[in-house]
């Protein structure tokens, strides 16, 4: 998840993307470097930040959401206001990221349930202006897990599908450095709550303290990307659904390097084999007119340990829904290349919050090739991590 703050006062990139053009350019660049989701925010949530008006927030984010969505970019709206969430989804956003975990706006859960989109619920103990003033935990891990579970249950009770709920431990929000480190060492425990996990550590203050100069001066915000990338790669391999980062390229590189050493991250898989549907994809005219059958094998990477424990469909991906999505893509708008079809199917599979990677094999058994052959197969692997 690439961070795109269209604000004048965010702690790291405030004022950097002060026009729709500059924001779109930055988002396109992040996607090219590996971001699957662009998180657009119009109100700073840095410690001490003051609230802005609803009108100002909408004026900042809606034109950017519209422009990115028009380019086919998967957009998340970073807001604590249900009115902004509703307007952003109408403009093309496909996910809501609420750093208050639904606590700032009593209508958020009801609105998101009606919209039918995923929501990220972050652990939160108060607004930006005061969140660092009274930090006290007896046991930060136990309390964060309990409070996240409470909000997840409230969201589900309000009508949000369990599969559309993603949790975020709120690193740096209402926490001291030692609290952040405890949570980062406890990814397994956070995953045991039973929901996909998003983690955001990018450029945060506790990293500035960790990397301080000999005289104790904290490391400059923009010089924290290496440490941010290392932590992002680590939590992804521990099984986190995603990471929220400023420097997508650094996080991508770190994760690739870690996977080269340990190619088996903490993740399980489900396979859907032999899905068959009729479509009109192909370069040749008769393929577009007459059509042909396409077969798909899909391997979906996700944690299934919690579902194995609870025996509850809500704790895993509904593979019938995934199969319907794949078939709809094959039967949908035609594309020239089987490679493009494989890419689109992989991207569709990653819209399910539980799915961390999708390996797609598209079979074209009736491809227009002279001579005898059994099949033409294209394989595409796509990850939700940066």
Alpha-carbon distance of 316 to 244, in angstroms, equals 23
Of 125, 175, 203, 204, the catalytic one is 204
For residue 204, give Cα distances in angstroms to 185, 228, 242, 354.
Answer: 17, 8, 17, 26
Q: Is 264 exposed, middle or buried (0-12, 13-18, 19+ CB in 10 A)?
A: exposed
Q: Identify whether the C-beta of residue 1 lies closer than 8 Å to the C-beta of residue 37.
A: yes
Any bridge partners for residue 293, and if so which?
A: 278
Alpha-carbon distance of 168 to 184, in angstroms, equals 11
Alpha-carbon distance of 249 to 346, in angstroms, equals 21
Alpha-carbon distance of 99 to 263, in angstroms, equals 32
Alpha-carbon distance of 137 to 180, in angstroms, equals 12
Query: Going by C-beta distance under 8 Å and a sequence separation of 6 or more, which residues neighbour residue 136?
Result: none
- The secondary structure of residue 219, as a DSSP letter, is P
Of 94, 125, 244, 359, the catalytic one is 244
Q: Is 213 exposed, middle or buried (0-12, 13-18, 19+ CB in 10 A)?
A: exposed
- Give DSSP secondary structure letters for 276-333: EEEE--SSSHHHHHH-EEEEEEEEEEE--HHHHHH--GGGS--HHHHHHHHHHHHHSS
204 in catalytic set: yes
Alpha-carbon distance of 290 to 292, in angstroms, equals 7
Alpha-carbon distance of 162 to 149, in angstroms, equals 12
46 in catalytic set: no
Distance of CA 128 to the CA centre of its chain: 23
Alpha-carbon distance of 166 to 302, in angstroms, equals 13
Question: Which residues are known catalytic residues?
Answer: 204, 244
């Amino acid at each position: 998840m690439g961070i795109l703050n269209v604000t004048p006062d965010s702690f790291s990139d405030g004022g950097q993307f002060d026009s729709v053009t500059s924001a779109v350019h930055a988002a396109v660049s992040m996607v090219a470097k590996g971001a699957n989701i662009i998180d657009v925010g119009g109100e700073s949530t840095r410690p001490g930040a003051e609230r802005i008006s609803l009108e100002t927030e909408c004026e900042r984010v809606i034109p950017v959401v519209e422009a990115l969505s028009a380019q086919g970019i998967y957009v998340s709206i970073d807001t604590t206001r249900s009115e902004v969430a509703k307007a952003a989804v109408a403009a093309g956003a496909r996910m809501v990221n609420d750093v208050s975990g639904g606590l700032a706006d009593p209508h958020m859960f009801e609105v998101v349930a009606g919209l039918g989109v995923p929501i990220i619920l972050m652990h939160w103990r108060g607004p930006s202006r005061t969140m660092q003033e009274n930090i006290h935990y007896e046991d930060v891990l136990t309390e964060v897990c309990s409070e996240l579970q409470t909000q997840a249950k409230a969201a589900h009770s309000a009508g949000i599908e369990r599969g559309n709920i993603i949790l975020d431990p709120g690193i740096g929000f209402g926490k001291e450095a030692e609290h952040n480190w405890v949570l980062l060492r406890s990814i397994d425990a956070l995953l045991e709550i039973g929901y996909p996990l998003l983690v955001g550590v990018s450029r945060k203050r506790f990293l500035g303290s960790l990397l301080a100069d000999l005289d104790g001066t904290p490391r400059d915000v923009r010089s924290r990307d290496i440490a941010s990338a290392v932590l992002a790669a680590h939590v992804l391999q521990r099984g986190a659904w995603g990471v929220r980062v400023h420097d997508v390229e650094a996080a991508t590189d770190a994760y690739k390097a870690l996977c080269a050493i340990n190619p088996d991250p903490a993740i399980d898989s489900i396979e859907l084999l032999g899905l068959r549907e009729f479509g009109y994809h192909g370069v040749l005219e008769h393929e577009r007119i007459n059509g042909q059958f396409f077969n798909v094998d899909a391997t979906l990477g996700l944690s299934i340990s919690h579902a194995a424990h609870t025996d509850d469909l809500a704790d895993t991906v509904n593979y019938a829904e995934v199969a319907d999505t794949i078939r709809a893509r094959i039967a949908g708008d035609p594309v020239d290349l089987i490679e493009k079809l494989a890419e689109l199917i992989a991207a569709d599979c990653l819209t399910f919050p539980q799915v961390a990677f999708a390996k797609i094999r598209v079979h074209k058994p009736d491809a227009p090739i002279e001579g005898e052959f059994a099949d033409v197969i294209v394989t595409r692997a796509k990850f939700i991590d940066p």
